[in-house]
Every structure is written in C-alpha cells, then in structure tokens.
Structure 1
Amino acid sequence: MRALYIDDDRILLELVSMSFGTDLESVVRVTSDANEAVDLIRDEKYDVILLDAVMPGICAADLIDQINATSNCPPPIIYITGLALEHQQVSLMQTGAVGVITKPFDPFDLLRHVRQLIDAPVASDHASDAGQAA
C-alpha cells in the first residue's frame, strides 16, 4: 500500500512513518505542507491519503477539492483527527472521506485500521446516511 499522510504535527508524521515501516509491502510519504501534498498527488499514485482535519492555514474540505481536481480517480481519503464528537465526524465524512481515525490512535494497529476502512466503502455510505438524517 502506498499512502500519503498530511499533518502539521511532526511527531505524528514520524509515528505514522514508523507504523507503516513495520510492513514491508507498505510505503508512506509524509508532509506538513498542503501545496506539496497536492504536487505529490499529481506526480505519484497513492492507494490512500491520510489527512489531519485541522491544520493551520488550510481548510481540509478545500484541500480535498484540490486533491479531487488533480486526479481523474483520486485515492480514498481517511481523516486522522482529534475531532471525536459524532457530529464532527459526520461532517468530515460528508467531505467525501471513507473513514475517520481518532487521535490518539494505536500505532501498532494503524495499518490494519486503514486497510479495513479502504476495504469497507459501505461504511462511508452509512456515515453519509447518518449525516443526512441528523
């Protein structure tokens, strides 16, 4: 699996790098710069994008729009965020994400959780339905 992780927290960038480093078949690129992220997505193919929902100077929804504009078939997006309230997560799912992983997360379980969210697109449909019902 090839992943791109975008977050402004350097410690979390390192933690996610180490989490993916435990699997020989997975590679993660990390960046704290939204413009660099868009360039990387345009220049390289990723299986998933991991995105912090709250970063200074950028709106996650706007970044997702930029990501979608750079590719005919953009990779699935999973938020890694401290936004833990249900209505916050529903709002994130409405931006087109396939899932939300709440900080703090278990670094030893991260890769499994990411794979599970990618393999279960039905989960995002249920979250969208819940958001419309709310």
Structure 2
Amino acid sequence: MTETPSPQILIVDDARDIREPLGQYLTKQGLRTRLAANAAEARVALEEAAIALVILDVMMPGEDGLSLCRWLVARGGPPVILLTAMADETDRIVGLELGADDYVVKPFNPRELLARVRAVLRRAPQPETEVPGRIRAFAGWQHDPGAHKLLDAAGRETPLTTGESRLLTVFLDNPRTVLSRARLLDLTQGRDAKPYDRAIDNTISRLRRKIEADPRSPELLVTEWGGGYLLAADVSETGA
C-alpha cells in the first residue's frame, strides 16, 4: 500500500540564512519543504506543487508578503503563517485581517514555529486524495495519472508535475473540444480564473515542450484564438 506523503511546506523568505536552515529543520521533523526567495518564485512553486501551507516573510524586496498573502487568500490558496519583525504589530494585524492563519515574530524558536505549523495543518481542510486514474493513450503517448508521467512509444518515461498531469487529464477527458482558460482553471483547480489567468498558459507551454515534436508549432495542444485550447488527438483507454 502506498504511504500518504507528508505535507509540503513552502518557505518564502529573501533571507537565505533563515530560509535554508528552517527548511532543513522542518525536513528533519518529517515534513517536505520547498524554498522560495521571493514572491515570483513562490507563485511558480504554488503552480507546480501541492503546497499544504505557506510560511511567508512579510518584509521582502519587490512584492512583499502581505501582497502575496492577499493573492493567496483571493484564490483560495493554502493556509499562511506570517513571519514578522518584532516591532511590526501593524503588519501582523493587517495580515490576519487579510486572511493569514497565524504569525510568528522574528527571531523565532523553530520548535514554536513547528508547533504552529502542525496546529494550522490540523485546522485546515484536507485536500482530496487523488485516486490513480485510467492509463490512456493519445498520439503515441500513454498518460499514467497515478504516477504523474508519460510513456512514449519506446516506453521511455517523461515525468510530469502534479499541475501538468492534472491539466493533461482534463484534455484527455475532453478530446477535440475547445476549452477556455477559465474552464481549464475551474476543472483543474476549482477556483476563479481571474486572479492568475496566465497559470494555464504556462502549464500548457511546459506540456508542449514534453509532448510536441516542435513546441513552437504545436499539433497536439492547439491554440484556438479567442476560445482557448484543444487536444487535437483521439484518446483510447489502455488500462488502469
């Protein structure tokens, strides 16, 4: 029986001497971690991986933590624990008003932060476990959604991120059907497409690099101008 993976925690902090030791500590405590030095890296991580909780520094260059927190809450993202400076009571209040779940004041005790992480995870709704689906074939490829991978005609494996595999599953469920960006976001994430419309375009671009002979002239994942995207291939079921 496959073990359920431990929750994955995203640590967003521009200070490397905080980000990396904290990641190592949480990993030793049995959690999976992913690190981001800024809001842009955090958005990529949130698109590519199933993040259970975000530890987010408020004071960062460029887009600050409060802005990213607002974006996360607006799109129904994972729970947030803010890291704030001792004197920044206003930031703590604003963060909680925005929808952050908790905060920890710097400098902090890693054991206290771990306790707060576990408490927030206990309170947070648990995501639905993905059930391995059908293995299906299209255009010389086989898609295994349970393992998040593609097999070519020679049996060579191409790994997929969770987001890529989920999006491809939607196209395989709806072959030769034009799907709008909003519809694709709704089917893959169950959220309103408005906050981050480019997410679908970015994921499709990555998928094209993996399945198209020439990603610059795609023949499988076709753009329908003004409409959305279409999988231009027949789909057949090969197994479970």
Decide: shared fold, TM above 0.5. yes
Number of the residue aligned with 2:49: 44
Q: Which amino acid aligns with 2:108?
A: F
Tell me if the contact between 1:19 and 1:111 (Cα under 8 Å) persists in the aligned partners. no
| Other structure's SS at 1:113 match | helix
Number of the residue aligned with 2:101: 98
**TM-align CA RMSD:** 2.1
Q: Which amino acid aligns with 2:42?
A: A
Number of the residue aligned with 1:115: 118
- Of 3, 26, 35, which residue of structure 1 is paired with 2:9? 3
Moved runs in structure 1, 4+ residues, more than 2 A? 59-62, 64-69, 83-88, 117-121
2: distance between equivalents of 1:14 and 1:59? 19
CA displacement 1:19-53 (0-9 Å, x = unmatched): 212223x1110110311210110121111011000
- Of 45, 56, 62, which residue of structure 2 is paired with 1:57? 62
CA displacement 1:45-103 (0-9 Å, x = unmatched): 1110110001111132322243346x5x4100110121445443211211210000111
Number of the residue aligned with 2:38: 33
| Other structure's SS at 1:74 match | coil
Gap regions ≥5 residues in structure 1: 122-134
Tell me if the contact between 1:41 and 1:67 (Cα under 8 Å) persists in the aligned partners. no
Q: Which amino acid aligns with 1:3?
A: I
Q: Based on CA coordinates, which of the two structures has the bigger radius of gyration?
A: 2
Gap regions ≥5 residues in structure 2: 1-6, 125-240
Q: Give the structure-1-normalised TM-score.
A: 0.76
1:17 pairs with 2:23: yes
| Other structure's SS at 2:47 match | helix
Q: Give the structure-2-normalised TM-score.
A: 0.45
Taking only the aligned residue pairs, the percentage that are identical comes to 27
Aligned length: 118
